[in-house]
Structure 1
Amino acid sequence: MSDSAYRVETTSRLAQWRIDNLASCTYRKSDPFKIGKWNWHLSVEKNRVLFVRLYPEISNLTRDNPPIASFIIRVVCSVGDRKALTHPEITNKKLKSNDDFVWAIEVPLTGKFIIDVEFLDLKTASGEGGEPCSIWAGGLTQKRSNATALASLSRMLTEGIHTDIMINVSDGSIGAHRAILAARSPVFQSMFSHDLKERELSTINISDMSIEACQAFLNYIYGNIGHEEFLTHRLALLHAADKYDISDLKDACHESLLEDIDTKNVLERLQNASLYQLPRLKTSCIRYLVKFGKIYDIRDDFNAFLLCADRDLVAEIFAEVLGAWKGF
């Protein structure tokens, strides 16, 4: 059984460590105590100044998913009138090591005292790169709510639940919901808000899109697109994102197209970068062609490209070529 001098008493969000005596120059570390998903330690070190530390126990969980803590920490003298020293509230502090939170207390403390930590929230980073999410009921409720809402939206699309608009594409039709389209695209919102034919006939004609690409487009809007589906239809999705002013989809396509430039697609990517005003993609394609010399590997295709490419784009490429020659 652990020595009571090192034991920390806990409830679901509160930890208290009672210290009966601390010598004039000493160090003490608590036993591990569980709050949330993690085991924690408190430590004190007294040498002219009292240093109080709070940190999670080193583990694979801590390394891979460290806690992001919000808490109030106090030192309370446990005799007399129970005077308390309170550190300013800590908010969303990532704690991985014993150096991430250190409280230096210069006020001399003698006799018995209590270190009191009240955890206001504990969060973990989202695996998808989103906002950190609380591990406690509020955060879990939000996470479940978001997942349920997305699943319901997906069902509305795949099962055609109360669709009220028909999208006609080059080789078929798909039912959708004008409220969802309007919420995701200012162009769709304008269509349905004014006396346009789309509002009157409850149809949208997208003749430049196949039914497979349109399905991928709607799956993205409804939060249900798969990775392979996205990769397959990136260029069609980019066109739709630009046409219907869906900036997050355009950004996603831009990022994805940057990842796998090669000699087979670089000229098409360059053309699309110019057409849809994607500066980083354009710079990356020109750099790939010129700095890495791939322009010589596809000489015939590149010469054909120059005959039909935008003049400003051709001028930009040749400026880069001239700059490269001057560097030799």
Structure 2
Amino acid sequence: MMYMLEKETMCDVTFRVGEGRKTIKAHKNILASRSEVFHTMFEGSLPEKNEINIPDIDEDTFKKILWLPKIYAYTDVVKISEKNVTSMLYAAEKYMLTTVKKKCSELLRSTATSVDAVVTLSTANQFHLHDLQKKSLHFIEENTERCLSSK
């Protein structure tokens, strides 16, 4: 399956992603099997045809979830870092990718009790992650000076 994706063999859906509208091809059946949102997009009452525009997710994030090099939709492996956690969480919520959301939350849990707790609190507020909000806020209250003097 990875070979077919990499060589774009039998791909039946094309996405135009990000502001640059970069072309990314995939297989509807794989995406629909991993996400109710994709299933509805392809098989719902008004199914998408031809190219699908995804302007609100950058190309790198979309590729990390769907296409390059360790592919979540095809292999259940996804790389999440502090740099991309917010964009990955946004994409995970948009496409109801529970494993990706869980992995993002795990990474954020580790930063909730560090000097980056303010950033974690902001992200937790944005995505309504109540446990992380509480954990971050508690750490900030206990370590206010350290948190305020961090980047």
What's the TM-score once normalised by structure 2's chain length? 0.81
Q: Distance in 2 between matches of 1:300 and 1:217?
A: 31
Match of 2:99 in 1: 248
- Structure 1: how far apart are the matches of 2:123 and 2:147? 21
Aligned to 1:177: 27
Match for 2:27: what amino acid?
A: H
Q: Distance in 1 between matches of 2:109 and 2:150?
A: 24
Q: Mark the CA change 1:233 to 1:221 in structure 2 (over 3 Å): closer, same or farther.
A: farther
Higher RCO (CA < 8 A, seq sep 6+): 2
Deviation string 1:116-163 (CA, Å, 9 cap, x unpaired) is xxxxxxxxxxxxxxxxxxxxxxxxxxxxxxxxxxxx3x2232221211
Is 1:205 the counterpart of 2:56? The answer is no
Q: Percent identity?
A: 27
1:289 is aligned to 140
Decide which of 222, 227, 239 is 2:74's aligned counterpart.
222
Give the corresponding residue for 2:11: 163
Instruction: Report how far residue 296 of structure 1 moved.
Output: 6.0
Quick check: 2:108–2:132 contact (8 Å CA) kept in 1?
A: yes
Q: How many residues align?
A: 143
**Structure 2 residue runs without a partner (length 5+):** none
Q: 1:192 aligns with which of 29, 42, 48?
A: 42
Residue in 2 that maps onto 1:234? 85
Task: Quote the Cα distance in structure 1 between the aligned partners of 2:5 and 2:126.
Answer: 31
One-letter identity of the residue aligned with 1:209: I
CA distance in 1, matches of 2:76, 2:35: 17
Deviations 1:153-196 (A, max 9, x none): x2232221211111111131210111111111111111111243
CA offset digits 1:255-314 (Å, max 9, x no partner)? 111113433x422321221222222221221121012x235641799xxxxxxxxxxxxx
CA distance in 2, matches of 1:268, 1:279: 15
Q: Give the C-alpha shift of residue 210 in structure 1.
A: 1.7
Which sections of structure 1, spanning at least 5 residues, go unmatched? Answer: 1-151, 302-328
Corresponding residue SS for 2:111? coil
- Normalising by the residue count of structure 1, what TM-score does the alignment of the two structures yield? 0.40
Equivalent-residue separation in structure 2 for 1:179 and 1:220 (angstroms) = 14
Instruction: Report which of the two has the higher share of helix.
Output: 2
Cα 1:294–1:183 change in 2 (3 A) is same
Q: Write the distance in 2 (CA, Å) between the matches of 1:233 and 1:205.
A: 21
Q: Distance in 2 between matches of 1:259 and 1:246?
A: 21
Query: In the alignment, is the contact (CA less than 8 A) between 1:166 and 1:204 conserved in 2?
Result: yes
CA deviations on 1:66-115 (whole Å, 9 max, x unpaired) are: xxxxxxxxxxxxxxxxxxxxxxxxxxxxxxxxxxxxxxxxxxxxxxxxxx
Q: 1:233 to 1:225 in 2, by over 3 A?
A: farther
Q: Give the SS at the match of 1:230.
A: coil
Partner amino acid, structure 1, of 2:90: H
Structure 1 residue runs of 4+, over 3 Å off? none
Counterparts of 2:145 and 2:35 in 1: how far apart (Å)?
A: 39
Structure 1 residue 230, shift from structure 2 partner: 2.3
Q: CA RMSD in A?
A: 2.4
Q: Give, as a single letter, the amino acid of the residue that structure 1 aligns with 2:55.
A: S
Q: Any conservation in 2 of the 1:216–1:225 contact (CA below 8 Å)?
A: no
